[in-house]
Every structure is written in C-alpha cells, then in structure tokens.
A = this chain, B = another copy of it.
C-alpha cells in the first residue's frame, strides 16, 4: 500500500501520452487516410505533437493564442505543410481533408491497461482529466477509448494550460478538496513538478513515448526521488490503493 496516497480522494490525469497513445493512434490513422502516400507518418505525428506542446507551453506562460485544440492543430498543420519536408503534401490536402486529420486527435486509443485500470480506480476514488485538451476532445476520446471519467477538467474549462497554477488549483477547488487530497497522474515530470509545487500528490507513469530520456531517472521519494509513486500501468496504480 502506498502510504503517501492514503488520504488521496481524487486522481487527475494528464491525457496525451499518459492515458492515450497519441503517436500510435495518429500515425496509423494518417496511414489509413492517405493510402497512396508513402511517408514517415510517425515523424509527421511527432512534429505535429511537438508543435502543439510548444504552443500550449507558450500560452501557459502568458503568451496569446487560441485555447481551442482543433484551432491549434489546424494552424500547426498549415504551418507544417509550408515547410520543406512536407510541402509536397500542401496541394494534395484540401480544407475538408485537413479538418478530418485534425479530428484524429479526438479519437486516440488508450494504452493496453487504460480502460481496465481506470474502471478499477473509479471504484476507489474520483477520477478526472487534467489536460490541456479541450472538453469536447476529451469527451470524444473518453467515448472512443471507453474511459469512465467522473469529471473533465480541460484547458477550456479552467481557462488556461498546464503548467499554469490555475489548472492545478482550479481543479482542486472544484473538487472541494485541499491539494494534498488530489494526486496528479502523468508521464511527464514537468507536469508533476508543477502539481507538487501546489501541494498535490504525484504519480509518475512510465510510457514508451513520453519523457524518453528522463523516465529511468524518475524515482519515488521512498528511493530518494521526487515523486510519491512510480508505476508502469493504471492497473498497478489501482492495486496500490
């Protein structure tokens, strides 16, 4: 039993990478939707995702920009298709096709343990998203991947982006919980550092696509590290409680 999680009443989850496999889901769908094109769709997906990450970090830090994830994905896609590597696709993808591609980010598949682990956790605590995605994207994804969230906290519900404090403190406030009774679950150490900075408990999940160079060095406090718990799946997390 994880002592440090004993008083936790709610678990809030980062979604992209932590709950769903964005790289596998989007790159496979790009391949299916463009059967005549022979591209490195994993590289395409990674670049798109990097752009999203850059944009939301900028907004979280006070920069301007849309908080609608579809708008951001569309702007990034248009920009990518003007760069040397992908410009040959610019003429081939019309407005309708680009819209369809942006919506791929709504239908990402969970990791193999996601559905089973979250149903188990839901029986023991409140579970919700705490994601930079939009509410609509997160609920579409929950329906697609069979995820039984109790509540959705998103960029457009809390009017900011992680790691802005408004996200962590706003979620705890709406849960009527002090931050120490809420655990942030993420595959990104930056997210957990911000959550811990506001008094939340922290659960680090190792995922193959996330924090690739850092994840082996993340340790629980019981081993001298900085997070409360490290797990490799949500099933493992549910069993700890």
The listed residue (B136, B148, B173) touching A175 by CB distance below 8 A is B136
- Residue of B70, B126, B134, B157 near A157 (CB, 8 A) is B157
Q: How many copies of the chain does the oligomer comprise? A: 2
At the interface, yes or no: A101 with Cβ under 8 Å from chain B?
no
Residue-by-residue, is A127-154 near B (CB-CB < 8 Å gives 1, otherwise 0)? 0000000111001001100001011101
CB-based nearest B residue for A154: B174
Contact indicator A150/B157 (Cβ below 8 Å): no
**Which residues of A144-179 are within 8 A (CB) of B?**
148, 150-152, 154, 156-157, 173-177
Task: Judge whether B151 and A174 touch: CB under 8 Å.
Answer: no
With a CB–CB cut-off of 8 A, which chain B residues contact A143? Answer: 126, 150
Query: What are the residues of chain B within 8 A of A136 when measuring CB–CB?
Result: 174-177
- The chain B residue sitting closest to A123, CB to CB, is B143
Among A143, A151, A156, A175, max chain B CB count under 10 A is at A151
Question: What residue in chain B is nearest A174 (Cβ atoms)?
Answer: B135
A151 touches B152 (CB 8 A): yes
A103 CB → nearest B CB, Å? 10
Please name the residue on chain B nearest to A175 by beta carbon: B136
Smallest Cβ distance from A102 to chain B, in angstroms? 12
Contact flags A57-80 to B (C-beta < 8 A → 1, else 0): 000000000001010000000000
Bound-state Cα–Cα, A136 to B156, Å? 18
Give 21 pairs: A residue, B residue, CB < 8 Å, sorted on A.
A70-B176, A126-B139, A126-B143, A134-B174, A134-B176, A135-B151, A135-B174, A135-B175, A136-B175, A136-B176, A136-B177, A139-B150, A139-B151, A142-B150, A143-B150, A148-B148, A151-B152, A154-B174, A156-B173, A156-B174, A157-B174
